Amino acid sequence: MTNVTVKDLTLDFGAVRVLDKLNIDIQEGEFLVLLGASGCGKSTLLNCIAGLLDISDGEIHIGGRNVTWEEPSERGIGMVFQSYALYPQMSVEGNLSFGLKNARVPKPEIAKRVARAAEILQIEPLLKRKPAALSGGQRQRVAIGRALVRDVDVFLFDEPLSNLDAKLRADLRVELKLLHQKLDNTMIYVTHDQVEAMTLADRIAIMRGGVVQQIASPSEVYNHPSNKYVAGFIGSPTINFFEGSIMDSGGEFLSADMRFPLTGYEATQGALTARPAWLGIRPEAVITGTDVAQQPFTSDIIVELVEPMGSDTLIYTTLAGTAFRFRMSGKATVAAGDALTIGFDPAQGSLFDKSTENRL
């Protein structure tokens, strides 16, 4: 049973089409992340689902109910905002209970729900404080709590961790994941941070220009990006692209006189045919050292720049006339100017059509 369905959703701001015929099905209990660069329409989509924006066309169903014309509060959702949007003049308890009081929920019930939310989020000691006296992380927890007490099936998160510093963000990310496991609610989560997306999501919807590029599990998105944009957007450091063409046989990719064997590539759309294309190789796919010989593709390179990251080391070089970076173990002792032999399997990479940029 799907919990949230978006059908042909279109949104125009005047003459500008912000969202274009979007279709998304979100399963009950699923954690869906809307990922994209700023301005891609991900927050707009979330606001449409919440009912905070009037849509131009299409339908929205939540819990099997058509809620397209319903007020946000009637849709059975809870929402958490980037700026927390806590009511600054009320205590934490007041923040949590204000909406319930307004909905005339009986007092004991309010107390029960607040207590439960506070327990889940471990904010019991903070209940009497004002938001101004809380840290960023605590505020965000309260904001989540406010969604929690509403006792709804769908949670909407609008970049909830963006205002926090890196360390806190990582901690809260874990907590969010735990929370999801515990509650098993449907969650729709907007972020521009791919680490959050990868770690949290059951499925990621990558958006660009108001259109969903790919909606799939994190590993699918990572390993089989549906187009060049997704490939470039996901993964850090960024994927390497070679510009070239697939040879007649479909067994080789040629870029600047360098040949990449494609034996074993699982083509998405039938057989590979000769055409101009991009070959994308993840920096993590590169192998050095003794195992190199077994790789379908090997090459000698000169190290140009070394970036030690602790756990691993990033090497910058040039391959087939293109800037190329790959990852080595953090223990590797390499210096600029060193010669190295590297190898990888191009068939594990991704091929994109030159003109459509779609995955082949």
Residues 147-186 that bind other proteins (CB under 8 A): 150, 158
Q: Which of 25, 59, 243, 357 binds other proteins (CB under 8 A)?
A: 59
Over the window 110 to 149, marking each residue x when it contacts other proteins by CB under 8 A and - when it does not, the resulting string is ----------------------x-------------x---
Identity of the residue, 116 or 224, whose beta carbon is nearer to other proteins in the bound complex? 116
Q: Is 71 in the site for other proteins (CB under 8 A)?
A: yes
Residue 202 contacts other proteins per CB under 8 A: no
Q: How far apart are CA 188 and CA 137, in angstroms?
A: 20
- Dihedral sign (CA 289, 294, 295, 301): positive
Nearer to other proteins (CB atom), residue 23 or residue 329 = 23
20 contacts other proteins (rule: CB under 8 A): no
105 binds other proteins (CB under 8 A): no
DSSP 34-58: EE-STTSSHHHHHHHHHTSS--SEE
Quick check: 87 binds other proteins (CB under 8 A)? yes
User: What torsion do the CA atoms of 144, 149, 153, 155 make, to the nearest 10 degrees?
Assistant: -20
Give me the amino acid identity at 274.
A
78 binds other proteins (CB under 8 A): yes
Q: Which is nearer to other proteins, 58 or 296 (CB)?
A: 58
Binding residue for other proteins, selected from 19, 55, 277, 279, defined by CB under 8 A = 55
The answer to whether residue 89 forms part of the interface with other proteins (CB under 8 A) is yes
Contact window for other proteins (CB under 8 A) among 24-32, 96-104, 187-195, 281-289: 96-104
Give the single-character DSSP code of 68: T
Stretch that binds other proteins, among 87-95, 194-202, 248-256, 278-286 (CB under 8 A): 87-95
Residue 189 binds other proteins, judged by CB under 8 A: no
Instruction: Give the distance from CA 310 to its chain's centroid.
Output: 25
In terms of phi and psi (left: phi > 0; alpha: psi -120 to 50; beta: otherwise), the region of 126 is alpha
Q: How far apart are CA 268 and CA 74, in angstroms?
A: 42
Which stretch in 81-89, 107-115, 204-212, 223-231 sits in contact with other proteins by CB under 8 A?
Answer: 81-89
Q: Which pair of tokens denotes residue 233?
A: 């957007």
Residue 307 — φ and ψ, nearest 5°?
A: -120, 100
Measure the CA–CA gap between 146 and 92, rounded to whole angstroms: 9
Residues 139, 151: Cα–Cα separation, whole Å: 20
Query: Where in 274-313 is the site for other proteins (CB under 8 A)?
Result: none
Selected from 74, 119, 165, 184, the binder of other proteins by CB under 8 A is 74
Nearest approach, Cβ of residue 9 and other proteins (Å)? 10
Cα(4)–Cα(154) distance, integer angstroms: 8
Q: Is 88 a residue that touches other proteins (CB under 8 A)?
A: yes
Stretch that binds other proteins, among 67-75, 108-116, 210-218, 252-260 (CB under 8 A): 67-75
Angle CA(165)–CA(169)–CA(174) in degrees, nearest 5? 160
Amino acid sitting at position 155 = F
Query: How many residues belong to the site for other proteins (CB under 8 A)?
Result: 40
User: Under rule CB under 8 A, which residues in 24-53 are in contact with other proteins?
Assistant: 47, 50-52
**Which of 315, 335, 336 minimizes the C-alpha distance to 326?**
315
Which of these ranges, 61-69, 228-236, 301-309, 341-349, lies near other proteins under the rule CB under 8 A? 61-69
CB 358 within 8 A of CB 278: no
Q: Is 23 in the site for other proteins (CB under 8 A)?
A: no
| Nearest-approach distance from CB 65 to other proteins, in angstroms | 7
Alpha helices in the chain (DSSP H): 42-50, 92-102, 107-121, 136-148, 166-183, 194-200, 218-223, 228-233
Burial status of residue 248 (CB atoms within 10 A of its CB: 0-12, 13-18, 19 or more):
exposed
Q: Given the rule CB under 8 A, which residues bind other proteins?
A: 47, 50-52, 54-59, 65-74, 77-79, 81-85, 87-90, 98-99, 102-103, 132, 146, 150, 158
